Amino acid sequence: MDISSKIIAIIPLQILAIVAYLSIAKRLNLYDNPNERSSHKEKVIRGGGVIIPVSLILYSLFFGLHHFFIMGVLLVAIISFVDDIIHINAFIRLAIHFIAVSFVFMDIHREINYSPIIVILVSILAVAAVNAYNFMDGINGMTGLYTLTVYESIFFYNYYFTPLFDTNLLIILSIAIVIFLFFNLRSQAKMFSGDVGSISLGLLAVFYVLYLIVHTQSLIYLSLLAVYGVEAGMTVLLRLFKKQNIFQAHRMHLFQDLVNIVGIPHIKVSLFYSLIQLFINFGIFLCIKCKFSGYLYFTYITLILIAIYVIVKFYIHNNLEKYNHAKN
């Protein structure tokens, strides 16, 4: 069986898996019920992101298990899926995340050796990035569209610059996300990804970005996750400033303000975030082509995004305070 035939054979199995999960989840009552901290108003099936680990298993069956990081993703997917159903202690989850990141380093660490201290520090940052990715999964279409932007940019790099990654895996993962978005990218979503989806996609994104950084020795590839990184980082700082528990659910992200306070539809906000990241990624490739400093580009992009975050956040809440004051 040639490569294209294998991919075509996997697609109906992916569709069957998510349809089967939808049916099972309804019977088991696996719903995400709305509360004062959520951005949806009706109960929705959670855990639809199970299509990601299922797609990795199908890839391994058809193409062979050639990557250690896949085992890491499957590990976090299992613990996250269980956590979606019954709450698991945060320390246990974090311990599993660190083990999964070690599998990622087994692929990255093959050709280039770093000191144990650097590996430990990068592992801590990687686990933080994975959880930040999860925190950003709060409105319809956000995680799916944003991840597609990252994957297609990596696919572009792979094709036009240096073929570092398995194109077949990128295609299969992209198809999985498109299938999931069929159920999620709606004004009233039929399914949420749950931690099993967002954590899995977060670890995959961390792998691709770390691999690019290590093998090109350029920090410019941090820009591939700049929008998520700045949003999550600034929100954590804001919550720490307000002396809140950063591990508890909340509605303080900028994208949540845009949906819940300003009233912009979920899909428009998700598209806006993804398009900004796509524009940034286009700039990455221009910098590579023109041999512009990757460090400077990443710094400029980060500062611009921080400025946008602060200005928009202040504008929204300043107007909200004026409205509440006038109302009272």
pLDDT score for 84: 82
> Which pLDDT belongs to residue 49?
94
**Stated pTM of the model:** 0.91
Q: How far is CA 295 from CA 290, 302, 309, 311, in A?
A: 14, 11, 21, 24
pLDDT for the residue 273: 96
pLDDT of residue 244: 83
pLDDT of 321 reads 65
Contact between 304 and 245 under an 8 Å Cβ cutoff? The reply is no
- pLDDT at res. 35: 63
64: left (phi over 0), alpha (psi -120 to 50) or beta: left
Running along the chain, 328 residues long, what does each successive block of 10 average in pLDDT?
84 96 91 69 88 96 87 94 85 92 82 72 91 88 94 92 91 96 91 93 94 90 95 91 78 89 92 96 93 91 96 86 58
Question: In this predicted structure, what is the pLDDT of residue 68?
Answer: 87
Give me the pLDDT at residue 294, please: 87
DSSP code for 225: G
Structure confidence at residue 110 (pLDDT): 59
**pLDDT the model gives residue 66:** 77
Residues 118, 130 contacting (CB under 8 angstroms): no
C-alpha dihedral sign at 205, 209, 210, 215 = positive
Separation CA 185–CA 193 (nearest Å)? 11
Question: What does the chain come to in residues?
Answer: 328
Domain count along the chain: 1
What is the model's pLDDT at position 279?
A: 96
Q: Where are the alpha helices (DSSP H) in 242-293?
A: 254-260, 266-290
According to the model, what pLDDT value does residue 328 have? 53
Please give the residue range of the domain that contains residue 156: 3-327
pLDDT score for 322: 60
